[in-house]
Structure 1
Amino acid sequence: MDRNLLLAKSNLEKNEFKVKIFESIDEMKKDLLNEIEINKTIAFGGSMTLFDMGLYEDFKKRGNKIFWHWKAKDKDKELELAKNSQIYISSTNALTLDGKLVNIDGVGNRVSSMFYGHERVYIIAGRNKICKDYDEAIERVKNVAAPKNACRLDINTPCKFTGKCNNCNSPDRICRVEVIIHKNPTGGDIRIYLIDEELGY
């Protein structure tokens, strides 16, 4: 198992997060489906990690009521409904070895939901999201996650063409809100699931 996963887990726990490590996606999905009750409403944050592993389909097939703007015809309505869900599931742009979550968002719905408004939050991340420190995390977000998401969304930002952050003033800029979660917020219940695989951007 990747040693960085073990070190990140230890420091995330020191920062009062609940953490589990899994060797595979299938192992993680089995645990998550067991953890989240069938009567709970669930909202998903925009995440290629979640999209690629098919979690939305798993919970929908089981019978949970799920909100995800990526799957909705009326995205604005879905985002509004998602605010009142009991469970929130997302990934993170980066997490540091000293146990912090680092995220940059365009709208802010994903990052705000990670720490406020839900009974329980699950953050799922592959080993590729682990960074040495804040500086490396920001480097990863701006020069890996952002350009790839700009290409996926087919928006007109410089990073889509250069593959790196230009600190642009484009109307399509997707790096608008930065959030660092240093410790599990008071009264919060953030559970972090680390997987020993390369997942998402």
Structure 2
Amino acid sequence: MVMSKKTKEIILSGAKDIFLEKGYQGATMRDIAEKANINKGLLHYYFKSKKILFVEAFKFIAMEIFPKLEKVIKSNMSFYKKIELIVDAYIELLCKNPKLPPFIINEINFNRDIFLESMISSGFVPNVPLIKSFILEGIDENKLKKIDPLQFVLNGLSMMIFPFLLRPIMTHIENISDNEYLELMKLRKRLIVDTLINSLKN
């Protein structure tokens, strides 16, 4: 039986939500079948194990951002415009999936081996070599000051991801809703872009 594209998207979207909510160990195929509103037997027919579905669910998330990032980085647009679009893509992904950062931390702490294997298999890892080469190219052309590209990548990821880890604390302290906090995160885009660009200027 061939799985339609629509059915696959429904299953992977449901699997993504369940894995982000319950983690790999806590999620069950029954949970995912109920979320996707399909028969559990049919789910097992399409995906033979939870691990296979886990990998496919994160390929599904990866496809939301990484092809877009590679297209931006390899384009002919200005270096600083690329930074702006990369930050925008990451923040939009995290606003759409705000449970992703705490999920990653939890899985690294409690399910490290399966998580890392699955992330690599799914392609759900930033293309750090591509980003580093993109920065080094700017340095070589004297467009940017000399900076460790890895430190630049870590700075960018930290500024984008860490506020999402703080969401439960900050919404409580500031007495704001989750939606209000996500709007605040979208407003951070310009601040992050400006900070990263200023760190690169000669």
The structure with more radius of gyration: 2
TM-score (norm 1): 0.28
| Structure with the largest fraction of strand | 1
TM-score (norm 2): 0.28
